[in-house]
Structure 1
Amino acid sequence: MKKKVAFVCVHNSCRSQIAEGWAKKLGGHVLEVYSAGTENYPEVKPGAVQVMEEVGVAMSGHYPKLLSDIPEELDILITMGCNVACPFVPCSHSEDWGLEDPSGGPIEGFRKTRDLIKAKVEDLIKRVENKEI
């Protein structure tokens, strides 16, 4: 049975969207993947879409979602670094990745964030596969 995981940040417009893209591509066999934000935002950041498409992960259909748009109960909650208090969502495992938001910076910052998130998602998938989570 797949573990329900949600990646959460403030706007669901960059880091959590990148994590959702990687988790679906790399971990779809063990994860049921969601992402959400704590505040409304109009679109996924173009830089996030661009850098994911550079590595073959299509995100053009992604859009920002709120916590109310994802399941109320999860197995795993990953917060990306919330700036303020991270949200409480019932789950059996949670962790904060504390990643800086590259928004507003050069595209290289988006690439660095993309690669950091990929490594963290790969580690998460391994831990799920090994039943550590």
Structure 2
Amino acid sequence: MSNVLFVCVANSGRSVMAERIFRARVGEWHASASAGSAPGAAAHPVVVEALAELGIDARDHVPRLLDDASIAWADVVVATCDDACPVVPGKRYVNWRLPDPKGLPLEDVRTIRDAIARRVAELIAELGAAQPPAGLTS
């Protein structure tokens, strides 16, 4: 089992999608969390809507501050943003460099969501949980 931390600046878009998709696909095989260096007030509504299309509920997401405890907990740190994203030490550090969904129309957020879903699938395969639980094979 690995602890995977998804980070971005506001923890209201990219990292939320990545963490929620990851969690939906791996169940309890791996643990996940998300955080941001400057957390926003809530997940972007369009992000919540895009995840809902996959049957993933993110309405309860509360952006969290990236802190030392989160970093210490993580085995894998996945930065989901560009060069403005915080770099944190971890046993493994990955940067996906995804565009910020803030202010984008749903169609564009779907494209980002789908790119995240593909990268999450690759990460799951690398971590050794290549088969998602039944019913979550999207």
Fold match, TM over 0.5?
yes
Could you tell me how far apart the structure 1 residues matched to 2:101 and 2:41 are? 17
Deviates more, 1:16-25 or 1:101-110: 101-110
2:108 aligns with 109
The Cα of 1:94 is off from its aligned counterpart by 0.8
Matches within 5 A, 1:54-93: 54-68=53-67, 71-73=70-72, 74-84=74-84, 86-89=86-89, 91-93=90-92
Identical counterparts, % of pairs = 30
Question: Runs of at least 4 residues of structure 1 off by over 4 A?
Answer: none
Gap regions ≥5 residues in structure 2 = 130-138
Residue identity in the other structure for 1:75: D
Could you tell me how far apart the structure 2 residues matched to 1:71 and 1:86 are? 13
Residue identity in the other structure for 2:37: T
Matches within 5 A, 1:20-99: 20-68=19-67, 71-73=70-72, 74-84=74-84, 86-89=86-89, 91-99=90-98
**Distance verdict in 2 for CA 1:70–1:47, change over 3 Å:** farther
Gap regions ≥5 residues in structure 1 = none
Residue identity in the other structure for 1:121: V
RMSD over aligned Cα atoms: 1.6
Q: Secondary structure at the match of 1:6?
A: strand
The Cα of 1:72 is off from its aligned counterpart by 3.3
Q: Is the 8 A contact 1:10 1:38 kept in 2?
A: yes
Give me the TM-score of the superposition, normalised by structure 2: 0.86
Q: Is the 8 A contact 1:38 1:87 kept in 2?
A: no
**Distance verdict in 2 for CA 1:66–1:82, change over 3 Å:** farther
Size of the alignment, in residue pairs? 128
The Cα of 1:8 is off from its aligned counterpart by 0.3
For residues 38-64 of structure 1, what are the alpha-carbon distances to aligned partners after superposition, in whole Å with 9 as ceiling and x for unaligned?
Answer: 003111100000010011011111111
2:13 aligns with 14
Give me the TM-score of the superposition, normalised by structure 1: 0.89
Q: Is the 8 A contact 2:42 2:62 kept in 1?
A: yes
